[in-house]
Amino acid sequence: MNYELFIAKRIIAGKKYKSSISSPIIKIATTAITLGIIIMLIAVATASGSQLKIRDKMAAFKGHVQILNYDNNNSDVSTTPISKTQDFYPEFKNISGVKNVQIYANKGGILRTKTNFEGIVFKGVSTDYDWSLFKEYIIKGKLPDFSLPRTKGILLSETIANRLQLKLNDTINATFLKTTNSKLPSTRKYTIVGIYNSGFAQFDKNMMIGDIREVQKLNKWTENQVGGFEVVLDDFDDIKAKGEEIYGEIGATLNAKSILDLYPTVFDWIKLFDNNVWFIIAIMILIAGINMITALLVLILERVQMIGILKALGSNNSSIRKVFLYNASYLILKGLFWGNIIGLSIIAIQYFFEIITLNPETYYVSVMPVHISVWAILALNIGTLVLCFLMLIIPSYIITKINPAKSIKFA
């Protein structure tokens, strides 16, 4: 019996399907598997890449959790100062997973040239600022040196620089809103030491970054007064739990808000990526499964005589079904192999050469980001193989309906 099944397996699993009927159908089924895994890999890579890129940009500008006075909750401008002397600064002693705690203060103002002007928010930071997430967005120049007694250097976005026709090392006049202690606006001169482009239009259109001591002087604050604190976490996935822990550790007059709370529309939007990806995966597996079912049925119907002979020789239905299922699995694996080669190549090309660009005002990124883990690749391949195989089990039962006497007689 084993010898007959071996011969049958060799007949079905020949290197080339010479039948004029089964050959194109098998090629279509294999192509469907290949295209399916390509589309699934690209969908997962782009969705994961966009989510990671957008949330990293948010953290680069705002940290993961902000600690601020209740009076400043709904404003990008720091109006009520907070004492820098806090139990949680410069580090939380009772909370793990906190990478850095940094001070900041914001001041609204206007940049003026001879022919134009732009409204800006001057974000003042200090030597404790974590630049690890921000450095990649600097396209020209360098970071301001906050170790100097007074730092007049600022970082300006490429968007603002282009609008005002400014370039690196230019001096710019800035006029700031009056404070409660001053009846007139304040004017300062700053030097552009660096130009950044995050591709996040919400920040690029008005954010200027410089020394927090400048903001303190503009607001008539002391060196011990700041606008708030930004907390940078080790793992973004812990942001909700850590946000609640941080809120429990700070004073009663302070509030802690994560960037999920500060920008809910942005994160609700990127959550939709997951739903879209699952929908694409389900559709692709369904299409691939239907094509494989069609190919399997054609293989079975073309070999009715062989199945009848095997049954006449004593082979049982289960053994014969396994032969066809094994060979169908081979077609699935072949499609997965080429799909992974092509799909991962496309992802690599986009990662290294950034061919596909996007409108940052709509998608919050200027280039389509891609990211995929080894575990995601394995899950997609194993999931596709298993689900397609399971979909083939029921149609393979048609073998049990084949009568040996009739199939041999009318062959």
Rounded Cα distance, 370 and 52, in Å:
9
Pick the range with the lowest mean pLDDT from 31-35, 145-149, 205-209. 145-149
Look up residue 216 and give its two tokens: 């303190």
Q: Please determine, for residue 308, whether its predicted confidence score (pLDDT) is greater than 90.
A: no
Cα torsion 298, 299, 301, 302: sign: positive
Bin 25: left if φ > 0, else alpha if -120 < ψ < 50, else beta: alpha
Nearest alpha-carbon partner for 268 in 41, 38, 55: 55
Band of the pLDDT at 303, cuts 50, 70, 90?
Answer: confident
Q: Please determine, for residue 365, whether its predicted confidence score (pLDDT) is greater than 90.
A: no
Look up residue 315 and give its two tokens: 């082979």
Rounded Cα distance, 385 and 249, in Å:
49
Beta strands 138-141 and 98-112, pairing class: unpaired
Look up residue 238 and give its two tokens: 């812990």
Angle (CA) 369-373-375 rounded to 5° is 150
Q: Please determine, for residue 21, whether its predicted confidence score (pLDDT) is greater than 60.
A: no
pLDDT-above-70 percentage for the chain: 91
Band of the pLDDT at 86, cuts 50, 70, 90?
Answer: very high
Give the number of other Cβ atoms within 10 Å of residue 411's Cβ: 10
Q: What is the mean pLDDT of the chain?
A: 88
Nearest alpha-carbon partner for 106 in 130, 133, 83, 72: 72
> If you average pLDDT over residues 109-137, what whole number do you get?
93
In the chain, what are the domain boundaries?
2-56+267-409, 81-226
Give 357's DSSP letter.
B
Look up residue 199 and give its two tokens: 């591709």
Q: Which residues, listed in sequence order, are joined to residue 121 by a DSSP beta bridge?
A: 108, 207
Instruction: Give the side-chain half-sphere CA count within 13 A for 328.
Output: 32
Beta strands 153-157 and 186-196, pairing class: parallel
* Close Cβ partners of 341 (under 8 Å, ≥ 6 residues apart): none
> If you average pLDDT over residues 42-49, what whole number do you get?
95
Quick one: pLDDT at residue 325?
A: 87
- DSSP secondary structure string for all residues of 392-411: HHTGGGGGGG--HHHHHHT-
* Token pair 């006049």 in the structure block, residue: 173
Rounded Cα distance, 307 and 404, in Å:
7
Look up residue 289 and give its two tokens: 């499964």
pLDDT-above-90 percentage for the chain: 63
Quick one: pLDDT at residue 15?
A: 43
Pick the range with the lowest mean pLDDT from 22-31, 32-41, 138-147. 22-31
Quick one: pLDDT at residue 17?
A: 46
The model's pLDDT over 132-155, given as tens digits with 9 standing for 90+, comes to 989 999 999 999 999 888 899 999
The model's pLDDT over 250-268, given as tens digits with 9 standing for 90+, comes to 988 899 999 999 999 999 9
Nearest alpha-carbon partner for 38 in 322, 269, 342: 342
- pTM of this structure: 0.85
Pick the range with the lowest mean pLDDT from 110-114, 180-184, 268-272. 180-184
Quick one: pLDDT at residue 78?
A: 74
